[in-house]
Amino acid sequence: MKVTDYIKNSNKTIFSFEIIPPLKGKGIEDICEGIDPLMEFKPPFINVTYHREEYDYKKMGNGLLKKVSIRKRPGTVGICAALMNRYKVDAIPHIICGGFNKEDTESALIDLKFLGVDNILALRGDPMKNESSFVPVEGGNKFAIDLIQQINEMNNGQYLYEETKNSPSNFCIGAAGYPEKHFEAMNLASDLRHLKAKVDAGAEFIVTQLFYDNKKYFSFVKKCREIGITVPIIPGLKPITNQRHLTFIPKFFNTNFPEEFSNELEKCKTNEEIKKVGIEWSIEQSKELIGAGVPVLHFYTMGKGQSVKEVASNVF
């Protein structure tokens, strides 16, 4: 079932969350450990991230270096199948531009179509660690809009290098939105224009980057509506739970903490105190968003569900 149908058929805010595949060599049990505590809130869909392969250089016996491919978190498609089978929920895989040419992308989409996956979150993806900016592989999609257009073409029965129409896919395509703008965008206005182009290309829902100031989300939605973006805009949340988050999240996700929130965090002396403040802030955020009638509250668990459960227990 499509995300848009779940939203249309629900008379209240839906609970959903995102997981990351476990490190290479870990099993499905490691995933379920984080998911099981959250299933009591009846999420109709769960997002599964994709992490592109990275490269390392290993010393050879002759003194030369050999480029070695490393994929630390494989298994997005397999995890989607396991979630759908085990929990009877819809799985939403992240499909990214990085690391794929268009033929690779088409093959992955065909596999997902055979699995019965109905929804896709289409993303450009991050640059590799050794790249100063994103570089697509030869023959790959350069931007998220290019990927959305390719998926939409499959939805219309048009596959690569095929002159005739084929069996169409029926993916509901999601795109990412940034209430505080994408870190590479010149400003929020230009970022919104790119988002509008993604919707015009076929995106049917938007999931936002995590944020801690609801005013930023409400303003973002208002600006989206003003330029003609009418699709559902799903807010993304993540409770702060430890000292590392205080610097990692603002830097990596390009998001700011409201002054009131940061003042409380600065008073904390232990991770336990930080976690308490973070969960309380997330609860209040969630209550305000639900009161405003958001279609879905989407939580970034990063593989750990306990803090999200504490928030959900207070708002759902």
Residue 137 is predicted with a pLDDT of 86
273 is catalytic: no
Domain coverage including residue 22 = 3-315
Residue 89 is predicted with a pLDDT of 97
pTM of the model: 0.92
Residue 248 is predicted with a pLDDT of 92
Q: Annotate 254-308 with DSSP letters as a single string.
A: -----HHHHHHHHT--SHHHHHHHHHHHHHHHHHHHHHTT-SEEEEE-TT--HHH
Catalytic residue among 18, 106, 264, 310: 18
Q: Contact 109/118 with Cβ under 8 angstroms?
A: no
Q: What are the residues facing 173 on neighbouring strands? A: 120
Q: Contact 32/304 with Cβ under 8 angstroms?
A: no
Residue 30 is predicted with a pLDDT of 82
Residue 156 is predicted with a pLDDT of 93
- Helix ranges (H only) for the chain are 3-9, 28-35, 76-87, 102-115, 144-155, 188-201, 214-226, 245-253, 259-266, 271-291, 306-315
Residue 68 is predicted with a pLDDT of 55
For residues 275 and 15, give the distance between their C-alpha atoms in angstroms, rounded to a whole number.
Answer: 21
Residue 312 is predicted with a pLDDT of 97
Largest CA distance in the chain: 67
Number of domains in the chain: 1
- CATH value at residue 245: 3.20.20.220
Task: Calculate the average pLDDT of the chain.
Answer: 91
Residue 112 is predicted with a pLDDT of 96
Given a cut of 70, the residues of the chain with pLDDT beneath it are: 25, 52-74, 127-130, 132, 164
Q: Contact 19/48 with Cβ under 8 angstroms?
A: yes
Type of residue numbered 23: L
